[in-house]
Amino acid sequence: MATIKQIAEKAGVSSATVSRVLNNDASMAVSDATRARIFAAAEELQYKPTRLKRLKQEGMLANQQIGLLLSLSVEEESSDPYFASIRRGIETRCEELGLSIGKVWRLNSGMELQPSHQLSGLIAVGTIAQETIVHLIGHTDRVVLVDHWEQLSDYDSVHLNFRQAVNSVVDHLLQLGHQTIAYIGGDSDEGFDPRTRHFKERLAKQGLLKEELILHAGDWSTNGGYEQMKALLLQNNRPTACFIGSDPMAVGALRALHEHGVDIPNEMAIVGFDDIEMSAFLSPPLSTVKAYTEQMGKTAVQLLMERIEGREASMEVTIETKLIIRESCGGLAANS
């Protein structure tokens, strides 16, 4: 079983730093890169917090059942590795702890959502109305929101640091000399897609924002990326770089570029988001943002267990990301 010391050695920091970061110590001043290394090392070593191990050993979780509320249908999730990975993290941590998921609801399943007030708590993944949560589980603070962007102060929440992620992409492309940068995303509502909001903010600050180069497919699918890239290529003001909000969309976008004979990265640099397994095997290998989505799911379980133990104050946990530079953006030399 991994220890704090092993994580510290792998991340190249002190044990004290690891302990404070993993316990979400808000007073701890640590760089985004260091925080990302610590979370990555903890996930790779399959670290399990001591308190949760103690709870399992004492059998305190045996009679606890939690609910899982998912914003996507089975079909939608099957083509969206981002949310599938979050769910996998939740299920993995629950299995490690001997904790039962007693009820699973899906918003877009087409079936009526029947409440269950016998659960010890609830983890809700995606943007879900508070009224729906109360309907399903009643008025309780034993709720953790994952990747939810409406402020609900009674509940714990876990989300990615999208500002840091987007800024790292845009700043890298600017460093490579790009002045005309496009964005292809899934949802046009900035409340559901913070990537769009932070992308606009960063480029506007540089005086380089071009609204016509921000396109949305309506979903995060491969076909959506394919169609939006074809639309982008029809514009007179063709960008020299494009940030794409998910790796599946980037797969479709790369196909459109290949079909149109566009040289990647010399005519257009591409950066995706997620770092799914196939990203490193595309042609060219895809530069992307590594999102520690499985860690998000595991962290949600940890927070819910703390609530069940009696913690009253709500907590917000932000998971850092890491920019992975590969050949699709032509920045290997700049990154070495």
- Global pTM reads 0.80
- Beta partners for 241? 181, 269
CB atoms within 10 A of CB 192: 17
Query: pLDDT per residue over 235-260, tens digit each?
Result: 998 999 999 999 999 999 999 999 99
Confidence category of residue 231, pLDDT binned at 50, 70, 90? very high
**Which two structure tokens, joined as six digits, stand for 309?**
């133990």
Query: pLDDT per residue over 12-56, tens digit each?
Result: 888 888 877 776 665 566 776 787 788 788 878 877 666 555 555
